[in-house]
Chain A
Amino acid sequence: KAGVTQTPRYLIKTRGQQVTLSCSPISGHRSVSWYQQTPGQGLQFLFEYFSETQRNKGNFPGRFSGRQFSNSRSEMNVSTLELGDSALYLCASSPGGLETGELFFGEGSRLTVL
């Protein structure tokens, strides 16, 4: 059974640019959630999508947005990049949703903002 796939794995952007990250969940999983991981703040919840609807959102500015497609694949977009957006962005899929805690994480997309 294929795991959660995130692309790209590494990317470098400059301040002011925007970036789109992609996540393909495990087949049959309808919930996809996104997280930002930094050494200082640890792992922080961004948002969750379930059957193409955003169900919950963490405390991040509106520059962070996402969407989910009918095949459950999800994308996350960050506009007007800032240096502080440099982080590992993790995607997780779940068969039953965020509330079960049973999340299957991808290996992440490491974003560096220069």
Chain B
Amino acid sequence: EDQVTQSPEALRLQEGESSSLNCSYTVSGLRGLFWYRQDPGKGPEFLFTLYSAGEEKEKERLKATLTKKESFLHITAPKPEDSATYLCAVERGGSNYKLTFGKGTLLTVNP
């Protein structure tokens, strides 16, 4: 069974204090790994897709990286508006593909 574990469950940062969120996964034949951001009362917002180990994607203060067992979401000099729950999901390859989500990391950035 596919598994996705995100850590830490919650992270509190001061504005400007860089850090990383972790997503470790176990999946048979990874097809893709995805990061989303979810604000309270909203649906998740797509951030990145990573397909192969060594791949990196960047968007503003966020950078996602992928290895064979885990992915990191690096947040550089965060701002209060970066506060949200960050979700990681993996997709198994093959004909019976589906998305398996982690439970998320709740990030709070204090001004």
Residues of A within 8 A of B (CB): 4, 33, 42-45, 48, 56-58, 90, 92, 98-108
Contact = CB atoms under 8 A, between A and B. Distances in A.
Interface string B61-98: 00000000000000000000000000101010000111
Contact of B96 (A42, A44, A56, A92): A56
A4 B43 contact: yes
A48 B97 CA distance: 10
B100 A105 contact: no
Contacts, number: 60
Interface of B: 31-34, 36, 41-46, 49, 87, 89, 91, 96-104
A105 B49 contact: no
A43 B100 CA distance: 8
Contacts of A92: 43-44
B97 A99 contact: yes
